[in-house]
Structure 1
Amino acid sequence: MTADPGAIARANEILRTEAGSGVHGLAIAGVSDHDENGVFVEPAEHVIGLADAVDHHTWRDRPEGHRSQAGDRECTLYSLRKFLRLAVAGNPNLLLMLYAPKASVYRTSALGEELRALGPAFLSRQAVRRTVGYLDGQVAMLLGRGRQKDMPKRPELVAKHGYDTKFASHALRLGLQGLELAEHARLTLPMPEADRERVLRVKTGAAPDLASVLAEIERVRDRVSTLLDTGRTPLPEAPDTAAISAWSVAAHRRHWDSVLPE
């Protein structure tokens, strides 16, 4: 019998939070969709048995390939093993789950709370560099230099503002969050008010023009790079993989003990 990845993910979920613009404090009423991310523990037979691995499951209101509309919901649940691999590598989207405010935590458990408490162990200079890499990717797509499938798909924004303001706002947000990580070894969600206003100004097309937006993004990026290059950051070079790995082993065992029959 073929396992249902969705049923497995939902039955073993330990954490789910708001994601996307909502958790950043950048959602625009009547415009933004609603994103969620979560973590589940794969059953033992899918990790140490012969059943196929189930590393993630996504459900969304619209079919794959169709752009989300205002209010549409999309949720992706990651297996704990996949989440940890991506978060340790500094994936900025998944680190949000560890720092989402209480109001944006939709489901949690004892293991979920322990995972969130491990948040500082994931923060590192490596994570900041990954964030800067995501920033560069957004700028490349903004300027039409990304892979063809990633070219701007929001012609209405380009027609109205002369460029894709959403890509531009993503790039600035990533830069400001990378700067907060590099300066203070923390990630504040929702974004601090001043930073949030800067990003919303770009997202809503209130910035003067693309050149001024690109200059602002570059200034923030340069500050981040200077902190990393000079070592003037409280962050360690790499995440604490030993602590994270030890917790992961214990978490899997405890979850399996709680669901397996006597």
Structure 2
Amino acid sequence: MRHSTPEFARIAKQGTVLRCQVGSTVHGLGIDGRTDRDEMGICVEPPEYVIGLRAFEQYVHHSRPEHTRSGPGDLDLTVYSLRKWTRLALDGNPTVLLPLFVPDHEIVTATAIGHDLRGQRSRLISRRAGHRFLGYLRAQRERMEGVRGGGHTNRPELVERYGFDTKFAYHMVRLGVQGIELMETGAITLPMPEPDRSWLLALRRGGHTREEALRRARDLEERLVRLCATSDLPEEPDTAWADRFLVDTYRRAWSDGVTATPRGGRDRAG
């Protein structure tokens, strides 16, 4: 895989400024003994990959064999360049925003740059994020209803056991719950508070029907549509601040020697 080369592994390792858990466990929705570990990192890449001819956007590491599904104990790690992560965060990508809100005990690595980034999250959050949550929620609901193309499950064992993919369904509802909270408060509470946490865990374990999940998703979707127009959050993120932050951060990191051009050798992935 082009994002999993030893070269990219070294760039990610040497330049990481923030790395944390972002999977089901951080949401409080993992099932004991059945959950893999999803982590996301952010790194400052060397100048050759920013102002030179080389390119680095992300490093991807899977502890499991290629083309196999994650299982208990597996690690899935994605480390974005700070520039790419910032672009995705400004656009309101739901998963990419999570490092701004994870509790401290879920942080694996954080430098001064990483702490600074988390402290400036209000600059990155806007109604644009609400539209992204809404778009993902609507797409997943339509796939479950069969009105949008594309598969919505690779978990036939859940379909056989419960009649539908309960993990897909709980992610759909979770997006609605967290999108609403973000538009109302400017934050996402992790792990998810009650009573939503228990409701979603029950859904994942087959305690709610497909129709109940779809009904709740529609209700959340309606609320999120209204909040995208009425939320007190700014309509757009502070891109001018983001530009200044990126320029200053890269200059400081390069000057301080936080990153270094990879030169030979091999590093252990992850």
TM-score under structure 1 length normalisation: 0.92
Q: Which moved more, 1:91-100 or 1:64-73?
A: 64-73
Cα gap change, 1:49/1:12 in structure 2, threshold over 3 Å: closer, same or farther?
same
Instruction: String of CA shifts for 1:21-57, please: whole Å, max 9, x gaps.
Output: 011111111111110000000101111123x111101
Q: Hey, what does 1:224 align to over in structure 2?
A: 224
Asked if 1:69 corresponds to 2:71, the answer is yes
Cα gap change, 1:19/1:3 in structure 2, threshold over 3 Å: closer, same or farther?
closer
Give 1:252's match in structure 2, choosing from 242, 250, 253. 250
Secondary structure, aligned partner of 1:168 = helix
**Structure whose residues are more often helix by fraction:** 1
Q: Identity of aligned pairs, percent?
A: 42
Q: How is 1:188-203 mapped onto 2 (pairs within 5 angstroms)?
A: 188-203=189-204
Q: How is 1:1-262 mapped onto 2 (pairs within 5 angstroms)?
A: 4-50=7-53, 52-144=54-146, 147-148=149-150, 150-207=151-208, 209-229=209-229, 231=230, 233-259=231-257
Equivalenced residue count is 255
Instruction: String of CA shifts for 1:131-181, please: whole Å, max 9, x gaps.
Output: 111112222333455554x44110110111111001100011000001101
Cα gap change, 1:104/1:30 in structure 2, threshold over 3 Å: closer, same or farther?
same
Structure 1: gaps (5+ residues): none
Q: Hey, what does 2:266 align to over in structure 1?
A: none
Cα distance in 2 between the residues matched to 1:180 and 1:254: 35
- Write the letter of the residue equivalent to 1:198: W
Contact 2:21 2:39 in 1 (8 A): yes
Q: Which moved more, 1:215-224 or 1:171-180?
A: 215-224
Structure with larger RCO (C-alpha < 8 A, sep 6+): 2
Give 1:113 deviation, angstroms. Answer: 0.5
**Which runs of structure 1 show a deviation greater than 6 angstroms over 4 or more consecutive aligned residues?**
none
Structure 2: gaps (5+ residues): 261-270
Contact 2:140 2:152 in 1 (8 A): no
Contact 1:125 1:228 in 2 (8 A): yes
Secondary structure, aligned partner of 2:195 = helix
CA RMSD of aligned residues (A): 1.7
- Write the letter of the residue equivalent to 2:225: S
Cα gap change, 1:63/1:139 in structure 2, threshold over 3 Å: closer, same or farther?
farther
Contact 1:144 1:151 in 2 (8 A): no
Contact 2:28 2:197 in 1 (8 A): yes
Contact 1:122 1:240 in 2 (8 A): yes
